[in-house]
């Protein structure tokens, strides 16, 4: 294969220059990190599963008219996406209390929230992605008020879509994180869903048993991460050939 120019290497993905201007190849690695990369491991097969799952969710968003960066999957580990300028925010949507919010506000994990709560964190690993308010975002110029209106609308549309898709396969969407990209079309700019949507960036609980099928399996040492992600892929019908389904012994 011709040598490609690496643009960026993140914790779970590497980005290469794409074949045409305005495109990027997103390579999904098997590396798993948590707690701001203090815990790390290589989980064989995770990258393949996240590549397939992110393709599935992004294609679904395209089908319902939610703009996103996905162009096409290239192979088991790579997908072609639109190049965009990433807004330096992690956009988190929560339907049930969990993780950092449950801890911060002293709410029991799993408590249903009265309405979806959207939070913003400033994307900065060295600072541990701190929670910020719209005041910070406006004052530091990370996004305009119009951008924030568009980001909120995108986040809530993704939430409704993902919640419904997951509900259809017996999974509760507890919370998730998305990233937003800015693309320029002539004189105009548009905001689109970028990065990835996968069990690495969502909390997914089995509706019947409460079993965790997301990265908390790794964060909290609850069993095999690939078994959990394979189960999500199997239920959605996007199980890659040759992957083994979850063993019935995995319980949380
Ligand atoms: N999340 C993520 N990347 C991050 C931080 C959070 O994908 O850097 C996701 C996480 O998987 C969960 C949601 O965002 O689905 C909310 O995470 P939370 O703030 O509860 O943080 P955590 O408990 O993961 O530290």
Residue 101 beta carbon below 6 angstroms from any ligand 1 atom: yes
pLDDT at residue 245 in the model = 52
Whole-angstrom distance, CA of residue 126 vs CA of residue 123 = 9
Identify whether 149 is part of a domain. Answer: yes
For the record, the structure tokens of 97 come out as: 């209390």
| Segment among 2-11, 70-79, 218-227 with least mean pLDDT | 2-11
| Per-residue model confidence as pLDDT tens digits over 95-128 | 999 999 999 999 999 999 999 999 999 999 999 9
Whole-angstrom distance, CA of residue 200 vs CA of residue 156 = 19
Domain range for residue 47? Answer: 6-84+224-235
CATH assignment of the domain containing 137: 3.30.470.20
pLDDT at residue 4 in the model = 87
Hey, whose CA ends up nearest to atom 19 of ligand 1?
A: 100
Query: Within this chain, do residues 71 and 96 fall inside the same structural domain, yes or no?
Result: no
> 86 - beta bridge partners?
181
More confident position, 244 or 11 = 11
What does the DSSP 8-state code read for residue 126?
A: G
Identify whether 216 is part of a domain. Answer: no
- Which pTM was predicted? 0.94
What does the DSSP 8-state code read for residue 28?
A: E
Query: Within this chain, do residues 193 and 91 fall inside the same structural domain, yes or no?
Result: yes
Residue 116 beta carbon below 6 angstroms from any ligand 1 atom: no
| Per-residue model confidence as pLDDT tens digits over 176-207 | 999 999 999 889 999 999 999 999 999 999 99
Q: Rounded mean pLDDT of the chain?
A: 95
Q: What are phi and psi of 197, to 5 degrees?
A: -125, 115
Identify whether 68 is part of a domain. Answer: yes
Whole-angstrom distance, CA of residue 186 vs CA of residue 48 = 35
Find the 136 Cα to ligand 1 centroid distance in Å: 20
Whole-angstrom distance, CA of residue 250 vs CA of residue 190 = 43
What is the number of structural domains in the chain? 2
The DSSP-derived string for 223-240 is: S-HHHHHHHHHHHHT-PP
| Per-residue model confidence as pLDDT tens digits over 147-184 | 999 999 999 999 999 999 999 999 999 999 999 999 99
Query: Within this chain, do residues 71 and 98 fall inside the same structural domain, yes or no?
Result: no
Of 9, 198, 171, 19, the residue nearest 95 (C-alpha): 171
Identify whether 121 is part of a domain. Answer: yes
What does the DSSP 8-state code read for residue 36?
A: T
pLDDT at 2 over 70: no
CATH assignment of the domain containing 65: 3.30.200.20
Identify whether 251 is part of a domain. Answer: no
Find the 215 Cα to ligand 1 centroid distance in Å: 9
């Amino acid at each position: 294969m011709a040598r490609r120019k690496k643009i960026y290497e993140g914790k779970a993905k590497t980005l290469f220059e794409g074949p045409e201007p305005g495109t990027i190849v997103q390579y999904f690695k098997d590396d798993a990190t948590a707690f701001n990369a203090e815990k790390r491991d290589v989980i064989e097969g995770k990258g393949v599963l996240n590549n397939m799952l992110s393709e599935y969710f992004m294609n679904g968003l395209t089908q319902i008219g939610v703009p996103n960066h996905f162009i096409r999957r290239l192979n088991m580990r790579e997908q072609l996406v639109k190049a965009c300028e990433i807004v330096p925010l992690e956009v988190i949507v929560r339907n049930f209390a969990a993780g950092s919010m449950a801890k911060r506000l002293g709410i029991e994990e799993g408590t249903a929230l009265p309405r979806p709560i959207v939070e913003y964190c400033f994307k900065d690993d060295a600072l541990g992605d701190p929670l910020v308010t719209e005041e910070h975002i406006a004052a530091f110029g990370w996004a305009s008020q119009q951008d924030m209106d568009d980001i909120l609308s995108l986040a809530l549309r993704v939430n409704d879509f993902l919640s419904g898709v997951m509900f259809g396969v017996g999974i509760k969407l507890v919370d998730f994180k998305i990233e937003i990209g800015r693309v320029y079309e002539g004189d105009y700019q548009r905001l689109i869903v970028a990065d990835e949507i996968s069990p690495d960036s969502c909390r997914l609980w089995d509706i019947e048993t409460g079993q965790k099928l997301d990265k908390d399996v790794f964060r909290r040492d609850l069993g095999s991460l690939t078994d959990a992600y394979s189960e999500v892929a199997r239920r959605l019908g996007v199980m890659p050939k040759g992957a083994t389904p979850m063993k019935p012994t995995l319980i949380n």
